[in-house]
Chain A
């Protein structure tokens, strides 16, 4: 079932201006700039939106809906970003939506011709939560450049569904819809690869995680919050506290993190 949770719908409306129908699954579309995210968006929703010609800019938070196997989806096109570390407004929007908007699934569109650079964002999203589908776009371009991709091996390694696509021609989009369907409506589990940090960091994270879970329950991924506490990103920690209500007590925690 789609989350009928009133609070989530309220958050989506208040913080992101997104109106959702009761039975709609929310799917976020993330990716680096210029990977064809908007092409995937248009191809899936059939909604012809016009974004300007500035490379890598999707400042508007475009939304569109589509149906697959009698299930309804609201697709949210996030701004193109290289990272979720919130250096820019775009990154902040993308991160906040994935973190607080709690979409039922996130499709990460990656560029087949520079996979290495694109996987940085993918891993960051997989660190936040598990319901991730990777759409490797532009595989025709990769073939032209003699880049061979073993998508099955990539899927096994990442632990999430990996779909090859050429969004421009519509190739692979049915598989993508099917993958979204499996993750949302059927609740197929994924085992996303988690980045392991140095021993020092992991030891502190192991200490922090249970305490964070005590404080915030399962609303957010405790491991991820622990890592952000270690980053010392004050603005973000304040934001989490606001979302949880002021009595969450994360702020006194900062001392423990240092």
Chain B
């Protein structure tokens, strides 16, 4: 795996591009739910589309399409690929 040091929040990922999760800076229930959906560090995520206002957005995670609000996606740090 190439060394990557620059992370961005998942919410800033452009539509159609791919990234890899660096860390989840969320606690509690939302964190648990994200982990249960397979969003663990190292997981590849693609931003599939955004709603007209830009929030929420749809992401492809391990073959499933998951919608996240920006308030949650802001707290997921990812390495853009």
- Residues in A lying within 8 Å of B, measured CB to CB: 82-83, 85, 87, 113-114, 116-117, 120-121
Contact = CB atoms under 8 A, between A and B. Distances in A.
A126 to B, nearest CB: 16
B38 A116 contact: yes
A113 B36 contact: no
A52 B62 CA distance: 28
Interface string B7-40: 0000000000000000000000100110011100
B49 to A, nearest CB: 18
A83 B40 CA distance: 15
Nearest to B29: A87
Given A113-B63, A114-B64, A120 B32 contact: no
Those 8 A-B pairs whose CB atoms lie nearest each other, nearest first = A83-B36, A82-B36, A114-B63, A116-B62, A114-B64, A117-B38, A87-B29, A117-B62
A120 B63 contact: no
Main SS at interface, chain A: helix
Interface of B: 29, 32-33, 36-38, 61-64
B62 A120 contact: no
Given A114-B62, A121-B36, 19 more contacts: A82-B33, A82-B36, A82-B37, A83-B33, A83-B36, A85-B32, A85-B36, A87-B29, A87-B32, A87-B33, A113-B63, A114-B63, A116-B62, A117-B37, A117-B61, A117-B62, A117-B63, A117-B64, A120-B38
Nearest to A91: B36
A113 B63 CA distance: 7
A25 to B, nearest CB: 29
A38 B25 CA distance: 36
